[in-house]
Amino acid sequence: MIMTAQIIDGKTLAQTLRAGFKKRVEALMAAQGVRPGLAVILVGEDPASIVYVNNKVRACEEAGLYSEKWRYPADVAPAVVLEKIAGLNADPKVHGILVQLPLPAHFDEAAVLEAISPQKDVDGFHAENVGALAQGKPRFIPCTPYGVMKMFAQGGIDLSGREAVVIGRSNIVGKPMALLLINAGATVTVCHSRTRDLKAHTRRADILVAAVGKPHFVTADMLKPGAVVIDVGINRLPDGRLCGDVDFDAAKEVARQITPVPGGVGPMTIAMLLANTIEAAEREAGQ
């Protein structure tokens, strides 16, 4: 008998986590006089990036963190941004630095990410932090896959020995997601644009993570009945609505547990950014 899947409610989980963060910030303030601080750099006018940055800054304020936002026009010289990063690296008020991606084409994105102090790299994209994650000793876990791992933990979803399939191999989502699943004991397959017979892989997945960026890309016939389906995609439909990579209405009749879009992975990403920033401040304060 097929039952409708349980919805993994990222919005509520993120709210619960954020209430806890507020207490951690107050405790750090009381014990050490330190308020965790995040600096966000935004280059250009990409509407989605503007929304993401504003949401991140607002979430910081709500949890009692200090935050600052630095905006530059799309044609800014990369040297200007690199100089700002150097200043933030040395600024004791700032424990986390985030450069909103993507950057305009004339930027060397890797060089910008490497300019951020690894101790303040709350996105976890610096090569040193990627290496630490690959070795199973993470300093900062990239926020989106970190949020997904929290969803597994909260839902009591056991990963050890399970078949996990990740669709997407980006540095931001797919690759770190695969590393985290490997570290948690899953048997991991990473599928991408060159994968042949994608469905043959996804049909085996006890855990399926979709990070593709194409609406309704994952259809119900691609799922193993009873799978846990995590939809990372955020896509805007022509009518303005947001949707994920998974055909949610059909998939929820096959999956055992599934994340919605919106209200799934998105709110968790922001929550984990706060977690990383608070952790950076606690470490800096010697806790």
Active site residue 23: no
Taking the least distance from each CB to ligand NAD, the nearer of 48 and 77 is: 48
Half-sphere exposure (Cβ direction) of 275: Cα atoms closer than 13 Å: 23
Residue 144 is a binding residue for ligand NAD (CB under 6 A):
yes
Taking the least distance from each CB to ligand NAD, the nearer of 160 and 193 is: 193
Whole-number Å distance between alpha carbons of 155 and 12: 13
DSSP-assigned beta bridge partners for residue 230: 209
| Peptide bond preceding 260 in cis form (omega within 30 of 0) | no
Helix or strand holding residue 243 (H, E):
strand 242-243
* Nearest Cα residue to 220 out of 236, 208, 211, 238: 208
Active site residue 46: no
Stretch that binds ligand NAD, among 26-34, 66-74, 108-116, 163-171 (CB under 6 A): 163-171
Active site residue 100: yes
Whether the Cβ atoms of residue 68 and residue 39 lie closer than 8 Å to each other? yes
Residue 234 is a binding residue for ligand NAD (CB under 6 A):
yes
Out of 34, 81, 85, 172, name the contact with ligand NAD by CB under 6 A.
172
DSSP-assigned beta bridge partners for residue 228: 207, 257
Whole-number Å distance between alpha carbons of 59 and 131: 29
Stretch that binds ligand NAD, among 37-45, 107-115, 123-131, 208-216 (CB under 6 A): 208-216
Taking the least distance from each CB to ligand NAD, the nearer of 34 and 142 is: 142
Count residues binding ligand NAD (CB under 6 A). 23
Whether the Cβ atoms of residue 10 and residue 151 lie closer than 8 Å to each other? yes
Binding to ligand NAD, residues 173-202 (CB under 6 A) = 173-174, 191-193, 195, 198
Stretch that binds ligand NAD, among 24-32, 104-112, 114-122, 262-270 (CB under 6 A): 262-270
Whole-number Å distance between alpha carbons of 268 and 159: 19
Taking the least distance from each CB to ligand NAD, the nearer of 189 and 235 is: 235
Write down the least CB distance from residue 154 to ligand NAD, Å: 16
CB atoms within 10 A of CB 1: 2
42 φ/ψ angles, rounded to the nearest 5 degrees: -125, 125
Write down the least CB distance from residue 79 to ligand NAD, Å: 26
Give how far Cα 171 sits from Cα of 38, 82, 162, Å. Answer: 22, 21, 23
Residue 275 is a binding residue for ligand NAD (CB under 6 A):
no
Say which residue the tokens 């998974």 belong to: 246
Indicate which residue of 9, 84, 120, 123 is catalytic. Answer: 123
Out of 232, 251, 272, 280, name the contact with ligand NAD by CB under 6 A.
232
Residue 260 is a binding residue for ligand NAD (CB under 6 A):
no
Contact positions vs ligand NAD (CB under 6 A): 144, 167-170, 172-174, 191-193, 195, 198, 211-213, 232-235, 265-266, 269
Residues with catalytic roles: 56, 100, 123
